[in-house]
Amino acid sequence: MLFFRKKHKVEEASASQLPVVEGPGYDDIPETKEGYDEERKVIVRLVGKRPEKKYQVTGIDDVASKNNWKAWLYLAPVIILLSVFSLYPLINTIFISITKNYSYIDGYGTGLTLDNFAIVLGLKSFVNQAGEMGRETNFVKFAIPNTLVITFVTVPLSIFLALIIAVALNSIKWFQKFLQTVFFLPYVTNGIAIGMVFAVIFDRQGIINNLFGVSVNWIQNAERWTAMIPLCIFIVWNSIPFKILILLSGLQGVDKQYYQAAQIDSASKGKVLRKITVPLLSPQILYLMITGFIGAFKEYNSIISIFGAPSTAGSGGASTEKNLLTVVYYVYDILENDSTTKIQYGAAGAVLLFAVILLFTLFQSKVSKKRVHY
């Protein structure tokens, strides 16, 4: 009979059971030594050794493992700020979204439920403050479609225009710095002020109608989809400067040999743009797509600055149809007007938006692995 230790565990086995297969580790048994044990009349074979507790490099203690507390100390201020202003609000919003009859004053509800999400999506009725049954329609009818239109129209269009402008600016040697400053001015200008200017330009008596000889209500009392035109133009115009800056910095880092080789091959400018410029700028384009979609999903300021309210009728009263609501505006509208009775519905809308943005960002990151060239 042989007596051996399987990863520091002493076991008995017959000679036919050898060789020994190593298993999970066990505590050392100091009284056991390898060789023939006269007292037990067995042969002891030790398999495996106890791992060292210290991290060593050529016999020297790993200094980094001893100084981890310094790294945590340096990160502590940022971790505290993120926990207070990001992590806690997120967790608290999720808690409110699944709380039944949440009280804004007390901070408590009557239980946990998922009905808030069904009510926001219009799948279930709720009892309003007057004790009457009602059904939420604004979120599905206006907030979601408006947000999707703004997102999938303005983001691709703004990136495309920014790419064309960045390529043009990169090819201009004279006056380039001045033009960069001009194109970047909208980014540093107050958005509310720019929106007011757009509201005057697209007014019924404004420049656009006079220029084209038409009489269209673009802003006040406009049709919903007609009002989307100046809104999308404003969002694109306001978001282009930052995209131009990012793409122009990426263009200036591209090796000129690629363009010289294309010039030798007599490649057209369109082919150079599609085959060289866009692939080499794919990391910057991916960054702009992710940040652009996140920003568009959270659009709110542009509607306030141009229309002054979530409606083409302006702030005409509570009965006005809120046909320009976005998801974020829906949440803010509840916090402003119905925070004592509907705050859980606003929280549910915010959580739904968070989930959509998260899934969409993960999808973009996955797709980009095959399309982005670093």
Q: What is the DSSP pairing of strand 126-127 with strand 133-134?
A: antiparallel
pLDDT in tens, 235-294: 999 889 899 989 988 888 888 888 888 888 888 888 888 888 888 888 899 899 999 999
- Cα–Cα distance measured from residue 233 to residue 367, given in angstroms and rounded to the nearest whole number: 28
- Among 299, 361, 357, 365, residue whose Cα is nearest residue 332: 299
pLDDT in tens, the chain (374 residues): 444 444 444 444 444 444 443 444 444 455 556 677 777 777 666 665 555 554 444 555 555 566 678 888 889 999 999 999 999 999 999 999 998 888 877 777 888 888 889 989 988 887 766 666 778 888 999 999 999 999 999 999 999 999 999 888 888 877 777 887 888 887 888 888 888 889 899 988 889 999 888 888 898 888 889 999 999 999 999 889 899 989 988 888 888 888 888 888 888 888 888 888 888 888 899 899 999 999 999 998 889 889 888 888 766 544 568 888 999 999 988 888 776 678 888 899 999 999 999 998 888 888 777 766 65
Domain boundaries, the chain: 2-47, 63-131, 138-337
- Cα–Cα distance measured from residue 97 to residue 373, given in angstroms and rounded to the nearest whole number: 40
What are 5's strand-pairing partners? Answer: 10, 46
Class of domain 138-337: mainly alpha
| Spatial contact of 138 and 331, defined as CB atoms under 8 Å apart | no
- Cα–Cα distance measured from residue 59 to residue 103, given in angstroms and rounded to the nearest whole number: 62
pLDDT in tens, 160-194: 999 999 888 888 877 777 887 888 887 888 888 88
- State the DSSP string of 294-345: HHHHT--HHHHHHHSSSSTT-S--TTS--TT--HHHHHHHHHHH-TTTSHHH
- Tell me if the bond preceding 19 is cis, omega within 30° of 0: yes
- Cα–Cα distance measured from residue 314 to residue 301, given in angstroms and rounded to the nearest whole number: 15
- The pLDDT score that the predictor gives to residue 64 is 56
